[in-house]
Every structure is written in C-alpha cells, then in structure tokens.
Amino acid sequence: VSPARAARSRTAPWEIPEEDFHTLVAPSERTKFLLRYAVLAPSGHNTQPWRFRVEEGRVAIFADRSRRLPIADPQDRELVISIGAAILNLRVAAAHFGHACEVEACDEPGPDGLLATARLRETARPDPELQPLFAAVPLRRTNRGRFLARPLDAEHRERLLAIAPRSGAAGFRFASGSETLRELARLVAVADRVQFADPAYRAELARWIRPRGSRRGDGIPGDAAGFPAPAASVAPWLVGSFDLGGALGRSDARHVRDAAAIAVFYAADRVRGWLETGELLERFLLTATLVGVQVAFLNQAVQVGRTREQLRETLRLADWPQIVVRIGYGRTPKLASPRRPLGSVLSEPEVWT
C-alpha cells in the first residue's frame, strides 16, 4: 500500500461524501451508509466494541465481546455505554437523511451479545432535535489537553443543560461548589493511583495505546493519550512498565481545577441505563462540539469500586455515576483517533433455511 493511500485510508472514516447516500437504492445499502456515522462514536480505549447485522428494514446491534476490557470494565458497563453512543450517531444520521429510527433495547444482552435493534423508516418528519447535531458527528474529538482556566459561558451552559432529559433511565448534572470539586479531584487522583498500582490494569491499557499511524484502526494513539511527541511512540512501553499513577493523579486533579465545568452522567446499573447513558453522553458531546467546547473523560473514579461509592455520596446521586467528563476551552486536537473500516464491524445477515 502506498503511503498516500495508507494516509487516505486513515482519514477516510471521517470523510463521508454525503451525496453518495442518494445514489444508493437498496435499503440495506442505505442502512450501511448510515452506520458509517455510527462508528465515529467514542468508545472506552477506542475499542469500538460493536458489531452490526443489517437485515430487512432493521439493524441488529451487538456487543463484540472480543473487545472487552476485563480489568478496567469488568461488568461491560463502558462497553455498553459506548454502543449507546454509536446508536445516537445512527439516530442523528438517520434524521439527517430523512429517516425515523426506533430503537428497542434488550433487558439483558443475548447469548450472541445482542443489545438492541434499530428500525429505520423514511419519514417526512425526522427528529428535529437530532438533525442539527449531524454536522458535529465527524468533528467530535476527545481532547485530553489542558483547558484554559475560564468559566463556562452562560450560553454554552444553557445549550448543554437543554439536552438533559426530563424522564428516562439516564441523566447528567454539573458538579458545583468548591468543596465538591475538591473532593472530586481527590477521588480522581486516588483512583489513578489504585489503577496504576495494578500491573494488570497497566498491561491492559498498554495493549490499547498505539503508535500514531498504526494500521490496526483502533486504540489510542500515544499523542492523543497525552504523551508529548518524543515519548508518544514508546507510550505503550511506558504505560506498561511504570507506575505513573502518582503523576497522572496530580495532573488529573489539576484538570478538575482548570475545567470550565465537570458533568457527571448517572443511571441505574442495567443494560438500558447504560445504553441511555451512552446516547445522552453522545448528545452532550455533539452539542459541545457544535458550540466549540472541548471535552475529555475523567472516569477513573467511576471505574474503581470504592471511589465510585464515595463519588455517589459526594454528589448525592440517587443513581450510580456512570461517566465523568471535564469540559472547557482549549485547542482542538489536530488528528482524530483511528476507526476500523465499516466492513470489519458488519456481520453477515442470518441465512434462514
């Protein structure tokens, strides 16, 4: 493969020629086209833990258990949340191209990993709340850099709060109050230390950090993970070999202090709650992208059982915290994290005999 072609294939997932949609006639080809937007969703460690089976008028959505993170995410909680984010992208793309998208979630994952089924149908009235988010789908990035110590603009706060659902299985709120934020920073730093003290955690993370330009199409490029240029190419080795928990904890505590706001997503620990968290999270991330607000994750305090309980108490949440993000103002990352081509996440339709 020529270097130019390799470079193109790495940016190709984000360059979707919209007009191609209208050249497709078969409903299954149109559905596959919409799934190109679904796979741009964020996922824990960029595992992209989804599979899709396109059937007559619907898409079956599966967890790909070969992409689990048994140490960081033993319950598959973040795996299901990631799939919720992909479902929201599918809904947004469907709305943009004039389709209604009805999603039926499973109570429990099927033996084959089935989590949900989406039905698509052409409509004259696609969801007006989702349509405007379409432009943000290829532009959204996780930004692990430092943000300016600047409060959140009132207008941006309003735009983000406007998506908070009034009912449903998942919600979010901004953490506020200097004491709460101090405690949150402490819990994040404690969780960093707990995680990095465990060699199994470090080994798992190291397996998903890749040199920039890797052909694997998944994982986090060293530079995107926050390693400065000279260290980025040896980032997997650094992460796997050294306990960076103390330094990371200090830097993450500073990130909490510098954030314009911290949003905490919560839901009950059930498949539906996790899927809805993923959908709400992605709605939040796309809205932030539209208004020019950067977002990074601070999930460690949710990933460690003890700090998760303390976080719940500190924030006085009725449900369990699921995702913590810091938002603020900073430079947009220049490069995207890779995606696998759509073909590698499509299952063959079932053959009925």
| Contacts to ligand FMN by CB under 6 A | 42-46, 78, 81-82, 85, 141-142, 144, 220, 297, 299, 337
Smallest separation (angstroms) from ligand FMN to the CB of 82 = 4
The nearer residue to ligand FMN, 126 or 245, going by C-beta atoms, is 245
The nearer residue to ligand FMN, 299 or 310, going by C-beta atoms, is 299
Smallest separation (angstroms) from ligand FMN to the CB of 25 = 31
Q: Which residue is nearest to ligand FMN (CB)?
A: 42
Spell 200-236 as b/e; 16+ CB within 10 A means b: ebbebbeebbbebeeeebbbbbbbbbbbeeeebbebb
Spatial distance between the Cα atoms of 304 and 235, rounded to a whole number of angstroms: 23
The nearer residue to ligand FMN, 58 or 300, going by C-beta atoms, is 300
The nearer residue to ligand FMN, 31 or 300, going by C-beta atoms, is 300
Cβ contact 301:188 at 8 Å: yes
Cα–Cα distances (Å) from 37 to 67, 139, 349, in that order, read 20, 11, 20
Tokens of 267: 């839901």
Smallest separation (angstroms) from ligand FMN to the CB of 125 = 30
Spatial distance between the Cα atoms of 220 and 337, rounded to a whole number of angstroms: 6
Smallest separation (angstroms) from ligand FMN to the CB of 18 = 20
Smallest separation (angstroms) from ligand FMN to the CB of 20 = 22
Tokens of 80: 């299901």
Task: List the one residue out of 19, 3, 22 whose CA is nearest residue 11.
Answer: 3
Spell 315-334 as b/e; 16+ CB within 10 A means b: bebebbbbbbbbbbbbeebe
The nearer residue to ligand FMN, 42 or 126, going by C-beta atoms, is 42
Cα–Cα distances (Å) from 189 to 195, 250, 339, in that order, read 10, 6, 30
The nearer residue to ligand FMN, 82 or 314, going by C-beta atoms, is 82
